[in-house]
Structure 1
Amino acid sequence: MASPPTPQTSSASLPSSVFTLPHTAQLEALYTIIRDKNTSRGDFLFYSDRIIRLLVEEGLNHLPVIPKTVETPTGATYEGVGFEGKICGVSILRAGEAMEAGLREVCRSVRIGKILIQRDEETALPKLFYAKLPQDIAKRYVLLLDPMLATGGSAMKAVEVIMEHGVPEDRIIFINLISSPEGLRTFCTRFPALKVITGWIDQGLNEKAYIIPGLGDFGERRYCS
């Protein structure tokens, strides 16, 4: 008899703006593979990409739609819906770039911007080093991409940058694979109108602010052999 998926942080203790993937046995199997330190780089790429695809699909479920009527090949009309506005992706470098392919697979010709944020050694605060965003980003819904949400510092700085370019808070959806409860609460307290789509909420942070049990450095495992 199959055992149920590992329990996570209770949804009742999390902000209402946080949404997780349905925690099926298949999803837990995928996470078990990418968490395993002995998983090969090839398998890490393949199975993390599968999870990213699921996350992007879930993120699209939270975009607003409007009524749309089309004519089918039979000559009949169909009362359906269409997305209310255009979207774009913004990845937080470098690990967030790993999620761009998953977004492109489900959103044809989607525009993608990039933000580089690193820790300032003098202040220990996240500092913006580079930002390249679509010129019309203020008119789009933004899917912010970063695999891990630990303390939330980099993600909050990225949201600040996006909002400074004219995007309302409630038009941003943050998508990530693994979050810490502490990071989620800090992030959602700062930006309560912004939605977060996460694949798994872990136990918490250790004394070094690493997510536990986590999966290590996503970027290192993704890009280094």
Structure 2
Amino acid sequence: MHVHVADHPLISHKLTLLRDKTTDSPTFRRLADELVTLLAYEATRDVRVVPVEVTTPVAQTHGVRLSEPRPLVVPILRAGLGMLEGMQRLIPTAEVGFLGMVRNEETLHPVTYAERLPDDLTGRQCYVLDPMLATGGSLSAAMHFLIQRGADHIVAITLLAAPEGIARLEADLASVEVPVTLVTAGLDEKLNELGYIVPGLGDAGDRLYGVAD
């Protein structure tokens, strides 16, 4: 697995604002959207294209376009939805699937409660969206889910990652031949006893959408 921590002043600036506990939900959603678009430029460096010829107003020339099948973007519900629009802004023709996973706060293990994905992902590049790579359980389970259906290239995009989560992914994917890349805006210090990233930015889902009583 390849890990890429994006190094850009704008990414660092927006991540700092996301961390601030005084940032309200509307501002948090806007910043997350902008940050994902910046991360998506890094994440799509190896997106598959095919050569084409195009006629400009002046002459004919060579170019490229996205190959078929189109990339599949998979936000992990619910927090991953807050990253979807930023990704679609960069690849508007990508298809979108959904994977609903929640972490059991007692065991810290992921539980899948919903999925809307093609049955056959053979030959598909998949981009998984999940704001926080904490314990790594949810993201690992999502990747194995996609690989089992035939995905042959996976890129995960996160706002933050913890060393424990990266170690979990590397261990879980050690025997997998499918190339996997993690693109994140920041690699934080550790997880606390509750499984939250430190210093982190809190619960991304709650900060995106508020807490429903």
* TM beyond 0.5: yes
Contact 1:111 1:134 (8 Å CA) reproduced? no
Contact 2:11 2:38 (8 Å CA) reproduced? no
User: 1:118 maps to which residue?
Assistant: 102
How many residues are matched? 206
TM-superposed CA distance for 1:31, in Å, is 1.2
User: 1:29 maps to which residue?
Assistant: 13
- Specify which of 92, 100, 103 is matched with residue 76 of structure 2: 92
TM-superposed CA distance for 1:122, in Å, is 8.8
The two structures have a TM-score, normalised by structure 2, of 0.87
User: 2:64 maps to which residue?
Assistant: 81
The two structures have a TM-score, normalised by structure 1, of 0.82
Identity of aligned residues (%): 34
- Specify which of 50, 54, 57 is matched with residue 70 of structure 1: 54
In the alignment, structure 1 residue 164 sits paired with structure 2 residue 164: no
Contact 2:120 2:150 (8 Å CA) reproduced? no
Superposed CA RMSD in Å reads: 2.2
**Greater helix fraction, Structure 1 or Structure 2:** 1
Secondary structure of the corresponding residue to residue 159 of structure 2: strand
Change (3 A) 1:76 1:137: same
Change (3 A) 1:20 1:64: farther
Contact 1:149 1:184 (8 Å CA) reproduced? yes
Q: Counterpart amino acid of 2:65?
A: G
Contact 2:108 2:135 (8 Å CA) reproduced? no
- Specify which of 212, 216, 219 is matched with residue 198 of structure 2: 212
- Specify which of 10, 20, 30 is matched with residue 5 of structure 2: 20
User: 1:198-223 CA distances to partner (integer Å, 9 max, x unpaired)?
Assistant: 11111111122210000000000100
Q: Counterpart amino acid of 1:35?
A: R
Q: Which structure 2 segments of 5+ residues have no match?
A: none
User: 1:4 maps to which residue?
Assistant: none
TM-superposed CA distance for 1:57, in Å, is 2.1
User: 1:183 maps to which residue?
Assistant: 165
